[in-house]
Structure formats: C-alpha cells, structure tokens
Structure 1
Amino acid sequence: MRFAVLGETAVRTEDGTLVRVPELKVRALLAALLVDAGRPVAAFRLVDDLWGDEPPGNPLRALQAKVSQLRRAFEEAEPGGRGLVVTQAPGYLLAAPEGALDAQEFTRLAARARETADPRDRAVLLGGALDLWRGPAFADFAEEPFARAAADRLEEERLTVREALAEARLDAGEHDLLTGELAELVALHPLRERLRAVQLRALYGAGRQSEALAGYEELRTLLADELGLDPSPELTALHAAMLRQDASLSAPMPMPIPIS
C-alpha cells in the first residue's frame, strides 16, 4: 500500500485504487499513526489524539475497536493489509514499507537535488518533489494538535524546496520567468531573506535593477519595523553588489529545463 499526507490523508493499493477508510475517528487514527510512521505511538497518546478532553468510558477498548476497523479496511483493500497496523509497546505503529509514504519520497528527492550540481537536473528533481503535493500537509487534520507540528514542519520543508527550485532555475538563466512567479510567493512570505534574495537576483538579471534595489529597501524596512533586525550579511553583500553593478550578477544564457 501507499500512503499520502501531502494533502488530505489517503491510502491507495499498489494498483492505485483508493482505500476507503470509514468513520472520522478511524481516519484520525490513520493520520496520527502516519505522523510517526514506522515508530510506535503510545496508546494513551492515541486516545488523546482521537478523543481529547472527552475520552470514552473504556478508552483502551475504544481504541482497540478503531484499530480493528482500520485493519479491516486495509485487509479488504489488499490481502495482508491488516498486518501493516502492528501492536507494539507502548501502543501501535504503522509499518509503511520503504518509499510508500509520499512525505518520505519528497524528502528523498529534495536530498538528491542538494547533491546534484547541474542546475537543470537539480530543478527537475525539486520539481518532482513539489509535484507530490496535492494540498496542505495533513489537510484534513492540520488543525488537530496531533498533526499540527508535523504539518508545519512539512510546509516549511515545502517552502524551502520552492526556494531551492527558484535558485536552480535562476542558475539556469530563467530570470524573466522567475520575476513574475516569485512575486506572489514573496507577498505571502515577505520576511524570508533567502526567497527575497532569489527575487532580487532575478529582477537584477532581468534588467530591472531599480526594482531590485527597491525590493531590498522594502525588506530592510520590514525587518526593522517587525523584527528589529537588519538584513543578513549575505543579503547586504548582494545589495552592495547590485549598487556597484557587479558583473557576477549578470544573467547567464537561459538553459531549458527538461520536462520529466
């Protein structure tokens, strides 16, 4: 089976058939186990995840019933599926096979990209990682306490990969395309210096030097007003390079990114 958390929590069989997991509490159990896929989750914690401040009269028995329902759903979808939900002290674990969780595949592709020197190849890997996303992480349970930290971590990793993809495309010469595409992302995350640096380099390389300099001043003001900080040394150095029209900021010839 294959599991997905980069969007709504979902399970599919190896042939791609969506597995129907009935009842909200059973789906919440699945999500709670996927937060710690491959590691046992304490029974008392699962009870708290599913029922919070209003546990049932016999919480462990109620949890066992939800575990049985989840196992039954897996078994009906794929023979042997029930064995993926393992009883292991101090509770239960979801034994997702290696590479069966989309979040793990996302991390793997991002790690491969970091080790790839060619910007075109790096962009292909990063684009493939981002293509795994179908919506916000743990979209159906992102506001639940048990999923919130994991969802936030994945969203941060997603944004980091988007920044890395923008850098790879910049290195491949896509300055003009990036200036438009980055505007919305920068508006959503105006204080992220790495993201802003890519935008400034793209604007400068596209011949829009005055906009690049204005973008730096906007960020400097935001950092001072909202965080009481100055721009990082790296961003300050970029600003100085733009002021002296450093030749290293000139845009390279565009190199097409191959479509996978």
Structure 2
Amino acid sequence: MEFRLLGPFEARRDGQLVDLGSRRQERCILAVLLLDMGHLVGTDRLIELLWNGRPPTSARSAVHTYIGRLRASLAPYGVRIRTGGDGYLVERDGHQVDVDEFSRLAYRASRATDPTERVRLLDHALALWRGPFLADTADGELRERLHGALEELRLSGLELRAEAQLALGRHTWVLNELPPLVSRHPTRENLVAILMTGLYRGGRQADALELYRRTRQVLVDDFGVEPGMRLREVHQRILRDDYPLDRPSRPVYEVRVRGESLPWSVGGHPALEFCNTFAGWGHEPPLPGSEWLREYRTLAVWAGHVGLVEDATVDMLIELARHDPDAATAVLEETRALRTRLYACLIDPDDQQAFDTVARHAEAAARTLVFQRDTGGCGRWSPNPTVGIRLPVHAAAWSAAELLADPRRLTIRVCPDEMCGWLFLDKAGLRRWCSLATCGQTAATEAPCLTT
C-alpha cells in the first residue's frame, strides 16, 4: 500500500485510489501511526493529539473502537496494526509513506555536490506535496503539532533548491518562485538573503535593498532583534556592489577547508566543534545540510583543521582511505556514534552510560599516545600516526577526554533555540544563544540556555 499524507489523505494500491471508508478521527489516528511506522505509538499520545489535550472520559475506549475499524478496513490490503504494551504500531511490510520518501530525497539532495543533481532531487521531493499536510484530515492545531519539523524540512529544501538554481545562473527562476514564499515567511532570513541575491543578479539592486529594509523593520518591530550576520553581509555587499556573482552563498555557520564543509567555531574547544552540526541536534528528521561529518575525508580534514593531527598526517589519512574505503567507512560510523554519546554526556552530566562509552574510547586512544613537540615549542600528547586509518577517532576521543576533565566543562551550555542545540562555553553565564546568526529568532519562547 502507498499512503499519501503530504496533502489530502490518500491510500493507493497499484496506483489505484483505495476508499478505506474511515472517519476523520480514524484517518488522524492512522496518519499518526504512519508517521512513525514500525514503532509503537502510545495510546495517551493518540488521545492527546486527537482531542488536542482536552479528551472526553470515553477517549480510551473510542481509540480502541477506531483501531478496530481501521484494522477491518485495512486487512484486505495486507496492512496490519499491532497492539504492543499500551499502544499500537503499523507493521512496515513494504508499505510506503510519501513523508518517508520526501525525507529520503531531501537528505540525498543535501549531500549532492552537483547543483543540477540537487535541483533534480529536490524537484522530485517537493513535487510530493499536493497541498497542506493532511489537508482534509487534521485541523489547524493538530496539523501544526504533527508537522512542525516536516514543514521546516520542506522550507529548508526550498532554500537549498533556490541556492542551487542560483549556482546554475538561474536567478530568473528565483525571482519567479521566491517572492510568494518570502511573503508568507518574511522573517526567514535565509530565504530573504537568497531572494536579495537573485534581485541583485537580475539588475534590481534597489528592490534588493528595499526588501532588506522591510525585513529588518519586521524583525525589529516584532522581535526586537536586528537581522542576522548572513543577511547583513548580503546587504553590505550589495551596497558596495561587490557581492560575488559566480557562486551561491553558503551558511555563515560553515567554513570551507580543502573543499570540505566544516562546522563554524562557536564552542572554543575541538570536542565542542566535533559535536556541533550545521542545523543542530533538534530535528527529526534531520534537516538538509545538518550533517557535516559526511565522509571519512571530511573527518580527516576536520582533525587537521582543529589541530588534533598534523597537515602531513591528513594527507596520509586521505590516501589510506582511498585504498581501503570499507575501513574508512567503518571508522566514520564509529566516530559518529562517539559524537552522539559525547553530546549526550555534555548536556546531561548524569548520563553514566554515555560517559562510560566516551571513557572507553578515550582509554583506547590513550594507549596510542606519544608526547611530541608542536610548532610553538610546547610539548603535547597526541595519537601516534602509526595507528593509521583509525587515527581521527582516537584524536576525537582524546579531545573529548580533555574537555570532560577540564573545569570549563561546567560552563558548557546548550543553545535553547529549537532550530539549533549547539554547545558553547559561557564562563560569564550571561549568553542566551550560541550566537549563530539564526539563533533566537525562531523561538518566541524566551527560554534560557540550560546549564549542564
């Protein structure tokens, strides 16, 4: 079966529309189960969503009735709803959901380096949207609660596609497609920056500057903040008439080293930069472009960039990975797992399991250490290059151990912006956001950073 949630709810088999005869509440329950297909969704969660936190006393029995009807209508098509604990799940059994396909294509597009391929993938992904999410099923409140992250993924995909179109010299496409989107999202600064760039490349410098003026006014009046760094930079370059026309702009929180995209430095320690990603940790599914640790080569270049290994060693590691790609992939996956555990350990000092995992990696790294003289004449411990292709994971683990043993670890804070989650050091205890250009603007909630 194929289920379509990106627009009016549809179920199809072999391309033909299937009438399940389900009521709106039943379609809502089925949609929630399909969004997390193969995983248990608790009955309390279904009740909370279905009645927007105001359930009747008969809510639990009503859910049981709805599930029974769904089972009866779906059984002829091989769709099984299983009861597990105090909840339900839809068995995967090869069934397809357009939300999963959209997320998969968006992720592939985020990894594509060729702008033509990126546009192709995103055209396919965005074409899956036939209208508002669950347009004929969920009311506005439920829709907002269910698809906040999904809508963010769609908007990020639109931004990526527009940037790729600019990279292909298609600023006319941007001028035709982006104005309505910017009108609906006037404070989404990345969209505004892309449209300003398109206007400038189309010879409409005055219109680009007027767009900036209007955007700044909205940000100041509604949120009390000035435009972020990237938007200010685009504005200043247009004023100087020197904005680069031969390449698409990149996020201000990205740096390029040896052709690799690495995290922008906000933490003040290599282990923090290791944890931080482009778009933060708070997105499910991850946003396009959120994963900086894409290949083993990226890992090796990062280790050299932050000073964990020598430049000559980076060259050696890249060559080793070229000759043994399977081993390089295994090391990359191990390093990603270490990063996840380190992040958990830093935001929750009581997470003993995460700490123990990092500690085991650090102990393995310690067995490879040599004491060397650096270029400044000081001595330092660092992993021995003779360990070969596993050197970056040892370097990252040793850096993590140094941070966990450092008193500064007590000043680590996590940015509360729902679009971020970056870690940074705050000795004064006064910073609210990590200082990324996008932070603090999506969160109307004035939640303070969490001290760990």
Please give the root-mean-square deviation of Cα atoms over the aligned residues, in Å: 2.3
What amino acid sits opposite 1:85 in the alignment?
Answer: I
Query: Which position in structure 1 is the counterpart of 2:222?
Result: 226
Given the alignment of the two structures, is residue 54 of structure 1 paired with residue 53 of structure 2, yes or no? no
For the residues of structure 1 that align with 2:50 and 2:230, how far apart are their CA atoms? Answer: 46
Task: Give the secondary structure class of the aligned counterpart of 1:54.
Answer: coil
Task: Give the secondary structure class of the aligned counterpart of 2:160.
Answer: helix
Query: Which position in structure 1 is the counterpart of 2:34?
Result: 34
For the residues of structure 2 that align with 1:38 and 1:169, how far apart are their CA atoms? Answer: 37
For the residues of structure 2 that align with 1:236 and 1:106, how far apart are their CA atoms? Answer: 32
Query: Which position in structure 2 is the counterpart of 1:4?
Result: 4
TM-score (norm. length: structure 2) = 0.50
% identical aligned pairs: 38
Q: Which range moved further: 43-52 or 92-101?
A: 43-52
Report the Cα offset of residue 190 of structure 1: 1.0
What amino acid sits opposite 2:56 in the alignment?
Answer: E
Within a 5 Å distance, the mapping from 1:15-164 to structure 2 comes to: 15-24=14-23, 25-50=25-50, 53-56=55-58, 61-76=61-76, 78=77, 80-81=78-79, 84-97=80-93, 100-143=96-139, 147-164=143-160
Given the alignment of the two structures, is residue 206 of structure 1 paired with residue 202 of structure 2, yes or no? yes
What amino acid sits opposite 2:16 in the alignment?
Answer: T
TM-score (norm. length: structure 1) = 0.85
Equivalent of 2:185 in 169, 183, 189: 189
Structure 2, unpaired ranges of 5+: 249-452
Structure 1, unpaired ranges of 5+: 253-260
Task: Give the secondary structure class of the aligned counterpart of 1:173.
Answer: coil
Contact 1:33 1:41 in 2 (8 A): yes
Contact 1:6 1:103 in 2 (8 A): yes
Q: Which has the higher contact order (CA 8 A, sep 6+)?
A: 1
Higher percent of residues as helix: 1
> Measured at CA, do residues 28 and 148 of structure 1 come closer, stay the same or move farther in structure 2, by a change above 3 Å?
same
For the residues of structure 2 that align with 1:31 and 1:158, how far apart are their CA atoms? Answer: 18
Report the Cα offset of residue 9 of structure 1: 2.1
Task: Give the secondary structure class of the aligned counterpart of 1:3.
Answer: strand
For the residues of structure 2 that align with 1:169 and 1:98, how far apart are their CA atoms? Answer: 35
Residues 111-151 of structure 1: CA deviation (Å, up to 9, x unaligned): 10111111111011111100011111122333276553222
Contact 2:133 2:143 in 1 (8 A): no
Query: Which position in structure 1 is the counterpart of 2:252?
Result: none
Structure having the higher Rg: 2
Task: Give the secondary structure class of the aligned counterpart of 1:126.
Answer: helix
> Measured at CA, do residues 44 and 181 of structure 1 come closer, stay the same or move farther in structure 2, by a change above 3 Å?
closer
For the residues of structure 2 that align with 1:203 and 1:137, how far apart are their CA atoms? Answer: 31
> Measured at CA, do residues 41 and 145 of structure 1 come closer, stay the same or move farther in structure 2, by a change above 3 Å?
farther
Report the Cα offset of residue 203 of structure 1: 0.4
Contact 1:137 1:154 in 2 (8 A): no
What amino acid sits opposite 1:154 in the alignment?
Answer: L
What amino acid sits opposite 2:72 in the alignment?
Answer: R
Contact 1:40 1:92 in 2 (8 A): yes
> Measured at CA, do residues 3 and 246 of structure 1 come closer, stay the same or move farther in structure 2, by a change above 3 Å?
same
Higher percent of residues as strand: 2
What amino acid sits opposite 1:16 in the alignment?
Answer: G
Segments ≥4 residues shifted beyond 4 Å? 47-52, 59-62, 144-147
Q: Which range moved further: 141-150 or 186-195?
A: 141-150
Q: Which range moved further: 29-38 or 1-10?
A: 29-38
For the residues of structure 2 that align with 1:28 and 1:237, how far apart are their CA atoms? Answer: 45
